[in-house]
């Protein structure tokens, strides 16, 4: 593969497309791949296809030149409805035309699904170029072997490969370079000034990302309340985020037991990123918003109750402490000790 890597690098720059469309945490964990590629090809054009809901997140990565939105989730719902099918077909055609504007030297599919393989196959490939993807699943990840039919090159990864390392390994193997630096999320593009966010405190605050879809991944309500009281004793009011009505009810229950806690309004993705970026402390279960705070290297405690810690734990900054593991929900004492280590 060294010869192939040299052939790609012969031009004054290369054009690279990354296909990683979802979900929130997986898109985030794919980002350090961009910094690795930038080190190899400083003048490269690097584009990224991602679900429309996560466009604002990928735009924060200063190493990405163009973010190409795709709306697979919305299109699936509207394609066979009479009222929306024409609009969906028009949007799909517009996406296809957009994707075909550039001719890419390297196209990476780091998700390994039929749908992402199809997107890879739609993109224009230079005569000397390669379509590179995963040769196998990692433990607990979604993977569809049929995606390999779109590959020029399929890269084998370890079954217990950290979510951040998986995409990095694929790119490094394809281009024959070593991974000898910590993960760099490069979330350095400026977020818009929050002029209308009346809920955002001007002083220090803690954020609890308590909500997750799977009940087994949740941390006990009474432990959240106990931790919130201790945050209050440290001078950190607690802000509580939520995503749906059920999560809002839990947030209200927590606020009722935590002095000076506040239930936030429903946040956009951009607002949630501002919330995480400016927090003095973030405590959260294994969910995308918690991982965003860790990617910003904010003081973050990640709580694992029923998901494997090895897969997504923040291991790139001393500002991140991981507690618990599969079937080992951490105690209030353990989590509070982690908070004390980060913020005193």
What CATH number is given to the structural domain containing 307? 3.40.50.2000
pLDDT score at 213: 83
Q: Is residue 185 part of a domain?
A: no
Q: Is residue 187 part of a domain?
A: no
User: By three-state DSSP, how is residue 247 classified?
Assistant: helix
Overall number of domains in the chain:
2
Question: Are 220 and 153 contained in the same domain?
Answer: no
Question: Are 30 and 104 contained in the same domain?
Answer: yes
Q: Is residue 180 part of a domain?
A: no
Contact 8, 36 (CB under 8 A): no
Beta strands in the chain (DSSP E): 15-19, 45-51, 66-70, 103-109, 124-134, 153-155, 206-209, 238-240, 262-263, 281-285, 300-304, 320-324
Give the span between the Cα atoms of 326 and 227, in whole angstroms.
21
pLDDT score at 65: 97
The boundaries of the domain holding residue 42 are 2-175
- Please report the DSSP string for 52-77 in residue order: GGGHHHHTT-TT-SEEEEE-HHHHHH
Q: Distance between alpha carbon 117 and the CA centroid of its chain, in Å? A: 20
Q: Is residue 201 part of a domain?
A: no
pLDDT score at 238: 98
Question: Are 167 and 228 contained in the same domain?
Answer: no
- Residue 183 sits at φ, ψ, to 5 deg, of -60, 130
Question: Are 170 and 35 contained in the same domain?
Answer: yes
Question: Are 337 and 256 contained in the same domain?
Answer: yes
- Residue 262: which residues within 8 A CB-CB, separation 6 or more? 199, 237, 238, 239, 240, 255
Question: Are 240 and 135 contained in the same domain?
Answer: no
Contact 31, 57 (CB under 8 A): no
Q: Is residue 77 part of a domain?
A: yes
Question: Are 19 and 155 contained in the same domain?
Answer: yes
Total residues belonging to the chain:
344
Question: Are 237 and 159 contained in the same domain?
Answer: no
pLDDT score at 14: 95
Give the span between the Cα atoms of 68 and 45, in whole angstroms.
13
**What is the C-alpha end-to-end distance of the chain, expressed in Å?**
50
Q: Is residue 95 part of a domain?
A: yes
Q: Is residue 212 part of a domain?
A: yes
Q: Which residues of the chain have pLDDT under 70?
A: 1-12, 192-195
Give the span between the Cα atoms of 153 and 149, in whole angstroms.
10
Give the span between the Cα atoms of 325 and 328, in whole angstroms.
5
What is the chain's mean pLDDT, rounded? 94
pLDDT score at 29: 98
In this structure, is the dihedral angle defined by the CA atoms of residues 170, 172, 173 and 179, taken in order, positive or negative? negative
pLDDT score at 189: 78
Looking up tokens 């918003």 gives 289
Question: Are 168 and 213 contained in the same domain?
Answer: no
Per-residue pLDDT tens over the stretch 308-344: 999 999 999 999 999 999 999 999 999 999 999 999 9
| Cis status, amide bond into 289, omega within 30 of 0 | no
Domain boundary among 152, 175, 198: 175
Q: Is residue 189 part of a domain?
A: no
User: By three-state DSSP, how is residue 160 classified?
Assistant: coil
Question: Are 18 and 167 contained in the same domain?
Answer: yes
Question: Are 99 and 158 contained in the same domain?
Answer: yes
Per-residue pLDDT tens over the stretch 229-262: 999 999 999 999 999 999 999 999 999 999 999 9
Tokens of 157: 């990864």
- Please report the DSSP string for 27-43 in residue order: HHHHTHHHHHHHHH-TT
Question: Are 170 and 210 contained in the same domain?
Answer: no
Give the span between the Cα atoms of 112 and 133, in whole angstroms.
7
């Amino acid at each position: 593969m060294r010869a192939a890597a040299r052939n790609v690098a012969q031009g004054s720059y290369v054009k690279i497309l990354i296909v990683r469309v979802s979900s929130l945490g997986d898109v985030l964990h794919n980002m350090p791949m961009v910094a690795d590629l930038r080190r190899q090809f400083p003048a490269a054009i690097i584009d990224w296809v991602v679900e429309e809901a996560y466009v604002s997140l990928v735009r924060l990565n200063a190493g990405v030149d163009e973010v190409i939105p795709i709306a697979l989730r919305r299109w699936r719902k509207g394609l066979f409805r009479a009222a929306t099918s024409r609009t969906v077909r028009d949007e799909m055609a517009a996406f296809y035309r957009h994707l075909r504007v550039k001719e890419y030297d390297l196209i990476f599919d780091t998700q390994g699904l039929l749908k992402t393989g199809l997107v890879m196959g739609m993109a224009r490939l230079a005569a000397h170029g390669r379509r590179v993807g995963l040769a196998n699943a990692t433990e607990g990840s979604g993977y569809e072997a049929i995606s390999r039919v779109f590959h020029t090159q399929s890269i084998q990864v370890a079954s217990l490969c950290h979510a951040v390392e998986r995409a990095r390994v694929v790119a490094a193997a394809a281009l024959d370079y070593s991974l000898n630096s910590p993960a760099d999320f490069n979330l350095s593009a400026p977020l818009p000034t929050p002029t209308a966010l009346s809920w955002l405190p001007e002083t220090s605050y803690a954020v609890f990302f308590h909500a997750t879809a799977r009940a087994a991944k949740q941390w006990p309500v009474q432990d959240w309340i106990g931790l919130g009281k201790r945050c209050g004793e440290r001078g950190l009011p607690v802000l509580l985020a939520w995503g749906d009505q059920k999560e809002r009810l839990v947030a209200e229950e927590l606020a009722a037991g935590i002095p000076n806690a506040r239930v936030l309004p429903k946040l956009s993705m951009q607002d949630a990123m501002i919330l995480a970026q400016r927090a003095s402390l973030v405590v959260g279960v294994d969910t995308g918003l918690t991982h965003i705070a860790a990617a910003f290297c904010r003081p973050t405690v990640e709580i694992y109750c029923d998901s494997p810690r090895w897969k997504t734990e923040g291991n790139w900054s001393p500002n991140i402490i991981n507690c618990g593991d599969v079937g080992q929900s951490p105690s209030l004492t353990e989590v509070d000790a982690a908070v004390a280590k980060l913020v005193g």
